[in-house]
Amino acid sequence: MGSRPVGTITRGTTNPNRLRRCDRWLAGPQAWRLRRSSSAPVVVDLGYGASPITAVELHDRLARVRPDVEVVGIEIDPERVAAGRELERPGLRFRLGGFEVPLERGARPTVVRAFNVLRQYDESEVTGAWALVQDRLTDEGLLVDGTCDEIGRRATWVAVERSGPVSLTVSLRLRGLEQPSDVAERLPKALIHHNVPGEPVHAFLQDLDRAWARAAPQGAFGVRQRFLSMASAVASDWPLLDGPSRWRLGEITVAWSAVASAS
């Protein structure tokens, strides 16, 4: 491993609560990864941006699941690391680095969250970046490669284990939602250019839209009921990996194999 961080500096845009949807997922259906660790699990906020707030929030939320969790914010920009170190506290640290995920004493992360990072790379660079992180994970570790809008109302993320990508999650603010495919511009880099007719991810979003339209009468009982009805309908044709407890949050997760591009 070289001493120079692997990656390029991102624009750094961030806002408080921007990544709350992913954090809620990590503290929910993925919490078993933290609980199963025999020692204090390490969680990395990779490329947290110009403000360290997302790393602070991540520690706050995951500490409720595993009080001894160690969150490490990693940035390629020394000035951003310096700003983060002013907020260090027990369980929260900041380090200079990139996709090589440098941790003290050879520690391996249980979770690496990389949001709005690979969005700025070429698609051809995605699998290489994934592989660098995958090699650093614990046996049951997880890389979360995600993208969201500026205030976190629309988000998607790919869950990548050591063996490869396993799922795509779409998470939407239900109030004011016109149609699920509005999230298309926030698809992760591995999929965003494949949202065209004939590609699986395009078919998935189109099926969500059709089911959303058919579920319009359920809107009389609230937008949450409409989303539940949509997800239940889609579940008959797509391998969804979650259920009503997540759908109620405006979240739906499908197996990666169903939406990944064959090209």
Q: Would you state the pLDDT for residue 1?
A: 41
Question: pTM here?
Answer: 0.94
Instruction: State whether 225 and 116 are in the same domain.
Output: no
List per-residue pLDDT tens for the chain, 263 residues long.
Answer: 446 777 666 665 677 789 999 999 999 999 999 999 989 999 999 999 889 999 999 999 999 999 999 999 999 999 999 999 999 999 999 999 999 999 988 899 999 999 999 988 999 999 999 999 999 999 999 999 999 999 999 999 999 999 999 999 999 999 999 999 999 999 999 999 999 999 999 999 999 999 999 999 999 999 999 999 999 999 999 999 999 999 999 999 999 999 998 76
* Strand, helix or coil for residue 154: strand
Residues 28 and 74 in one domain: yes
- Same domain? For 42 and 145 the reply is yes
Q: How far apart are CA 261 and CA 9, in angstroms?
A: 28
Residue 167 lies in a domain: no
- For residues 224 and 114, membership in a common domain is answered with no
Residue 103: Cβ within 10 Å count: 18
Residues 212 and 140 in one domain: no
For 53, the domain range is 1-162
Q: Return the amino acid letter for 149.
A: D
Residue pair 178/236 in contact by the 8 Å Cβ criterion: no
Structure tokens at 25: 């997922």
Q: Let me know whether 150 and 187 are in one domain.
A: no
**How many distinct structural domains can be found in the chain?**
2
